[in-house]
A and B are shown apart, each in its own frame.
Chain A
Amino acid sequence: MLKQYLKALILTLAFLSILLPLASNAPDGLERVAETLGIEEQKPAWEGLMPDYTLPTIDNPYISTLLAGFFGVFLVLGVSFILGIAITKPNR
């Protein structure tokens, strides 16, 4: 079973690598609404480590976003695994 999950994870990373260059850079629904109504984007209270899914030190936009994406995938994987342990009872 664990092998299946590993496969799913590899597929996720492959899927991200392939689809990322095809992803739209157009504003999303909420950004479009704000734009149409003439609302300026507010300065964020917290900039995060990788604002807009880019690593500030890497120039190539594809590599920069892909690495940020991989980082996020493993981060979410780890944190939600801990959550999974926390909300479940050990099998007896």
Chain B
Amino acid sequence: MHIPDGYLTPETCALTYAISIIFLVWSWKRARAAYSRSLAPLLAVSSAFVFAAQMINFPILYGTSGHLVGGTFLSMLLGPYAAILSMTIVLLMQALFFADGGVFTFGANVFNMAIIGGLSFFLVKLLTKNPQRTGRLFMSISFASWLSVVIGALACGLQIGFSPVFSDVGGIVATVPAMLFWHALIGLGEAAITTTLTSQLHRLQPMVLNGLIILRRKHVETIP
């Protein structure tokens, strides 16, 4: 879902940069208030893992592939604020070193994957209610991770649909349904991987799921 340069108008680039920067500042401020130093190694390893996982494309249908985005996964480990920042680092390194996702379109990619992915935390929280009931928790994680990919694809479809490159072939009327169709399928992969990873981590190393610990509290305060 990484938008390359040339697919968005300068206006869309500027607008998405502005929106993403607002969310990043908000995440930065909330993260500073919420986390202790023990977060740093977990943040480093989980971001590195998501970078690696994004390199592994799985086949979907008719010669199309997808890969894990990992926003919901990170938000379950790190909570929403650090997850947004962590995913932004992954996207930034991809854009700067690997030309995966453009430089001008970086703001849009941050919005579609990092911010929507990190915010899916709140959907998990809303749907879970009582996280002691793990069945319901992992159902919520499945649905939220699927939806985060679909909403990201919707945003991406709208952004590219408004560019002149795509307006000649139908604009958003063409791009939005096509993006939604493919990413409804890719989202199934996202949900399967995210649910497997979080449930296995929960089984093996329940301490690591700091984001889940936040879920068990009324307010985000500190992570032990």
Contacts and interface: CB of A to CB of B under 8 A. Distances in A.
A8 B151 CA distance: 30
A91 B223 CA distance: 12
A26 B57 contact: yes
A25 B57 contact: yes
Contacts of B63: 26-27, 32
Interface string A30-42: 1011101111011
A2 to B, nearest CB: 7
Given A37-B178, A44-B5, A23 B55 contact: yes
Interface in B180-202: 182-183, 186
Interface stretch (B118-126, B140-148, B164-172, B211-219): B164-172
B134 interface: no
A42 B90 contact: no
B44 A84 contact: yes
Q: Name the prevailing secondary structure of the B interface residues.
A: helix
A38 B37 CA distance: 49
Interface in B36-83: 36-45, 47-52, 55-60, 63-67, 82
Interface in A39-64: 39, 41-53
Contacts of B116: none
A29 B52 contact: no
A45 B4 CA distance: 9
A50 B95 CA distance: 10
Taking each of B1, B41, B85, B174, which has the highest tally of chain A beta carbons within 10 Å of its own beta carbon?
Answer: B41
Taking each of A33, A45, A49, A85, which has the highest tally of chain B beta carbons within 10 Å of its own beta carbon?
Answer: A33
B44 A77 contact: yes
A76 B82 contact: no
A45 B44 contact: no
A80 B205 contact: no
Contacts of A45: 5-6, 102-104
Interface in A58-92: 65, 68-69, 71-81, 83-85, 87-91
A46 B175 CA distance: 25
A46 B98 contact: no
Top 7 A-B pairs, shortest CB-CB distance: A42-B6, A84-B40, A48-B99, A81-B44, A29-B182, A24-B65, A80-B47
Interface of B: 1-7, 28, 31-32, 35-45, 47-52, 55-60, 63-67, 82, 85-86, 89-90, 92-100, 102-104, 153, 156-157, 160, 165-166, 169-170, 174-175, 178-179, 182-183, 186, 205, 208
26 contacts: A5-B41, A8-B49, A9-B48, A12-B48, A16-B56, A23-B55, A24-B57, A32-B64, A33-B175, A33-B178, A33-B182, A37-B175, A42-B4, A44-B6, A44-B99, A45-B5, A47-B99, A48-B99, A51-B99, A53-B55, A74-B48, A77-B45, A79-B89, A80-B44, A80-B48, A87-B32
Given A4-B205, A30-B156, A88-B35, 19 more contacts: A5-B44, A5-B45, A12-B49, A26-B60, A26-B63, A29-B66, A32-B63, A32-B178, A33-B178, A33-B179, A45-B104, A46-B5, A53-B100, A68-B98, A72-B97, A77-B47, A85-B37, A87-B35, A88-B38
